[in-house]
Amino acid sequence: MSEKNIYEALLAKDTCLSVIGLGYVGLPIALEYAKSIKVIGFDIKPERVELMKKHIDPSNELEASDFANSDIMFTSNEEDLKKASFHIVAVPTPIDKHCLPDLTPLLSATRSVGRNLKKGDYVVYESTVYPGCTEEDCVPILEELSGLKFNVDFKVGFSPERINPGDKEHSLQTITKIVSGSCPEALENIANVYSLVAKAGVFKASCIKVAEAAKIIENTQRDVNIALMNELSLIFNKMGINTFEVLEAAGTKWNFLKFFPGLVGGHCIGVDPYYLTFKAKEYGHYPQIIESGRSINDHMGAYVAETTVKKMISLGLHIKDSHVLVMGATFKENVSDIRNSKVADIIHELQSYGVIVDVIDPYADSDDLKHEYGFALTKDVRNDYDAVILAVNHKDYANLSEEYFQKITKANVVFFDVKGIYRGKIKQMTYVSL
Question: Is 268 labeled as catalytic in the residue annotation?
Answer: yes
CB 273, CB 215: distance < 8 Å: no
Residue 167 CB neighbour total at 10 angstroms: 14
Phi, psi (deg, nearest 5) at residue 424: 85, -5
Query: Using CA atoms, how far apart are residues 127 and 22, in angstroms rounded to an integer?
Result: 12
Q: Indicate the helix (H) or strand (E) that contains 281.
A: helix 272-282
SS3 (DSSP) at 85: strand
Q: In what order do the strands lie in the sheet with 356-360?
A: 356-360, 323-327, 385-390, 409-417, 430-433
**Residue ranges of the alpha helices (H) in 120-259?**
133, 139-146, 184-194, 208-239, 243-250
Query: Using CA atoms, how far apart are residues 356 and 350, in angstroms rounded to an integer?
Result: 8
Q: In what order do the strands lie in the sheet with 155-158?
A: 72-75, 39-42, 16-20, 84-89, 122-125, 155-158
Of the candidates 403, 131, 162, 173, the one whose C-alpha atom is nearest the C-alpha of residue 277 is 131
CA-CA-CA-CA torsion sign (304, 305, 310, 315): positive
Q: Which of 16, 133, 138, 268 is catalytic?
A: 268
SS3 (DSSP) at 111: helix
Q: Indicate the helix (H) or strand (E) that contains 153.
A: none
Query: Using CA atoms, how far apart are residues 29 and 159, in angstroms rounded to an integer?
Result: 12
CB 76, CB 8: distance < 8 Å: no
Q: Which residues are catalytic?
A: 268
